Amino acid sequence: MTNNCFPILLTLMMSLTLQGQTVDFTSNLYETYDSYKEKSLDKRRIKHGDIQPLIDAKALGAGFEVHTVGRSIEGRPLRLISIGKGDTDVFLWSQMHGNEPTATQAIFDILNFLASADQGTEKRAILESVRLHFLPMLNPDGAEVFARQNALGIDINRDALRLQSPEGRTLKAVRDSLEAEFGFNLHDQSTYYNAERTSKPATISYLAPAYNYEKEINTVRANAMKVIGYMNGILQKYAPGQVGKYNDDFEPRAFGDNIQKWGTSAILIESGGYPEDVEKQEIRKLNYVSILSAIYTIATGSYEKMSLEGYASIPENDRKLFDLKIEGVTYPLMGQEYLMDIGIQRPEVDDATHADFWYSSRVVDLGDLSTYYGYQNLDATGYRLEPAKVYPKVMPDVKAVEKLDLWTLLQEGVTYVRVENLPKDYINSPYPVHLISTKYKPAELRLGIGMNPTFILTQADAPKYAVVNGFLYNLSTREGSGKNSMIYR
């Protein structure tokens, strides 16, 4: 064995030892999660009013303190929840971006755990060694309309220098008053990030932000790196290979970078994608487990023995995921045939209440996509791309559509149904077919970036798959489903 191998081996052994110290605690957190999950928060589009009763309840609980520390532009109170007796202050804030609520839900799961009557050794260590401070919704005005920006229209996370937003001023004031040793900056990221050079989504991504352009590592930043390395080790048990790391270029306007600069070890956590987890409830659970495990290692001080190698080994974030990737389909165009890969994404469109959404899918890339990946992949070798058909009969109303055998229509290559009286308040189709007016004429099939992905894949001239609004339907097995199709008037 060469001398160069010894540092790597020592790092690995130390990491395994530290993780082994809390493996029972972590496993127990994962296995008992449902006992502490806040059941009232089961959808991503949560609003300020949804969490106020939960905060009020905690204010009455033993050991908790709740203070209003600021107000949003539209006057909603920003409330800080504190618990614990220790000298080490840990500050956690979430939903700086109003449409990034996964960790907000996890915070209330953590609060339920801390408030529970069962007092394990690890929980006692946490509450006796650290003092925890939670600001669960920093941007309530943005959350009200499920938007990234606040009511001023700015990104609060780029307001650390000017501090023109009351939310940004509140965040800095709380950090300064606490002089917290650790700060957890909790966000959501695009579901289309993957761990670099792998097909696995970056379900959780981390960053210990740089505090200067030189990306120097002082004790403050190193401590953040050590805790992140520890959390990565925890997550590999539950989401192996699904952890990424953000680029650490210094952003002088960002809060994370400045909080690191101001002396708090800043840990950025981004919740990304997980297969078949549209509401990010499994990712919420991973936040709960990894954050509580991180708090425990801070409480015990065991993170100090971690090497920086654990952080350095986390793969970079990449952005090469599609919701659906179709590979190697034959695409006829102007008398010629071409081999084509198709990358499809399904952007969400909020409804008027910002409490639910529908999909308006798009083709986002075409050609050789061999270095890209999909949550769902179809090898379409030997299949031919064909235009979808319009059902020859006109339905009098939407109710009549329900009486059709829609799978049979799809098997015949039909994805459009004309409706004579389309209700004005219908904004999407609840069926696996598009609803169109009597005047609408579907465009000729010609692949292009931005088009709605609706077409048929045939083999020996027989329809085998239908793609409707970016959702894949297997016509042989009748497998496949989608939240909605489109309406064209």
Q: What is the mean pLDDT of residues 380-409?
A: 97
Question: Tens digit of pLDDT for each residue in 310-331?
Answer: 999 999 999 999 999 999 999 9
Question: What confidence score (pLDDT) does residue 22 get?
Answer: 60
This prediction's pTM: 0.93
Question: Tens digit of pLDDT for each residue in 216-266?
Answer: 999 999 999 999 999 999 999 999 999 999 999 999 999 999 999 999 999
Domain boundaries along the sequence of the chain: 5-318, 346-362+385-488
Q: How far is CA 47 from CA 7, 55, 172, in A?
A: 49, 13, 23
Q: How far is CA 453 from CA 325, 345, 379, in A?
A: 11, 9, 17
Domain 5-318 adopts which CATH fold? Answer: Aminopeptidase (3.40.630)
DSSP state letter for 86: -
Question: What confidence score (pLDDT) does residue 1 get?
Answer: 43
The helix or strand, by DSSP H or E, that contains position 267, with its residue range, turns out to be strand 265-271
Q: What is the mean pLDDT of residues 394-404?
A: 96
Q: What is the mean pLDDT of residues 449-474?
A: 98
What share of the chain has pLDDT > 70, as a percent?
Answer: 96
Question: What confidence score (pLDDT) does residue 3 get?
Answer: 46
Cα separation, 298 vs 304, in Å, equals 8
Q: What is the mean pLDDT of residues 270-281?
A: 97
Question: Tens digit of pLDDT for each residue in 4-30?
Answer: 444 334 444 444 444 455 678 999 999
Amino acid at 423: P
Question: What confidence score (pLDDT) does residue 203 get?
Answer: 98
Question: What confidence score (pLDDT) does residue 270 get?
Answer: 98
Q: What angle do CA 474, 477, 478 make, to 5 degrees?
A: 65
Closest CA to 359 of 407, 324, 400: 324
Cα separation, 41 vs 45, in Å, equals 9
Q: What's the chain's average pLDDT? A: 95
Q: What angle do CA 464, 485, 278 make, to 5 degrees?
A: 95
Question: What confidence score (pLDDT) does residue 13 get?
Answer: 46
| Inter-residue contact 415 to 435 (CB < 8 Å) | no
Q: How confident is the model at residue 162 (pLDDT cuts 50, 70, 90)?
A: very high
pLDDT at 96 over 90: yes
Question: What confidence score (pLDDT) does residue 5 get?
Answer: 44
| Inter-residue contact 327 to 338 (CB < 8 Å) | no
Question: Tens digit of pLDDT for each residue in 287-312?
Answer: 999 999 999 999 999 999 999 999 99
Question: What confidence score (pLDDT) does residue 9 get?
Answer: 43
Question: Tens digit of pLDDT for each residue in 411-453?
Answer: 999 999 999 999 999 999 999 999 999 999 999 999 999 999 9
